[in-house]
Amino acid sequence: MTAFRANALLLAGHPQQARACYERLRPQLDDPVVDVRWAGVLVQAIDLVEAFGDAATAGLLARRLAPLARYPGAHGIPTVLFVGAMDGPYGRALAHAGDLPAAEAALRRAIDADRALGARPYVVLGRLALADVLRRRGRPDAAVPVATAAATEARRLDMPGPGARADQLLAALSLAAARGRAHPHDVLTAREREVASLVVRARSNRQIAETLVLSERTVESHVRNILAKLGCTNRTQLVAHWRADSS
């Protein structure tokens, strides 16, 4: 119920309260009490990990989901919980943790399974995640049709949130195509770009954490990932790199 409450608070526009719930939930991934509720916790956690940009927890979540992801089809408890193919949240966790090749493979399996099941909302979510992975892997031509299919189906199913995200992704892909090249910043996740932009504005990790409603530990993890992805050794190099590529 803590996981459900955190997601409900996010949807209601209360990120700080949602973050407090997430902080209570997060230790369960380190030392889980596995019972009939456990799968429900895991599939709810992926939305929270993405919302709060917690790449470190995404890797842990992927490891927890891996045993469930090997099963074809859906996972659920009769009358209580039903989700699409477990490869879906597994692939999203891998993507947020930065393992893009494995994420692509898992998301393609999830889309195929959810189409066979008729779980159409989960097909939308899988396609949206896959399109972003393809973009980050430098394959915009492959990402566009996947994102377009996600946007079309999201509108048909009245899913305004995923539909808006698909439209934003298509706009970003169109802009990159107009420039004639993929922007170096595209290797970063949306949350990493937010963190990097604040680093460039000389914000400390604590200030970034307060601005984005994150923990300092999460911000530190993001900064390390950003430096590694952009080939920088310190924040000064990141600032120079960011400004040069933005000019």
154-197 pLDDT, tens digit per residue, is 999 999 888 888 888 888 787 766 555 555 566 788 888 889 88
**Are the CB atoms for 183 and 176 separated by under 8 Å?**
yes
Side-chain-side CA neighbours of residue 246 (13 Å): 11
Confidence of residue 6 (pLDDT cuts 50, 70, 90): very high
- State how far the Cα of 71 lies from the Cα of 85, in Å rounded to an integer: 8
Structure tokens at 73: 């089809």
Residue 190 confidence (pLDDT): 80
Average pLDDT over residues 212-240: 83
Look at residue 133 and tell me whether its pLDDT is greater than 70: yes
Q: Is the pTM above the cut of 0.95?
A: no
Digit-coded pLDDT (tens) for 71-89: 766 666 655 557 788 899 9
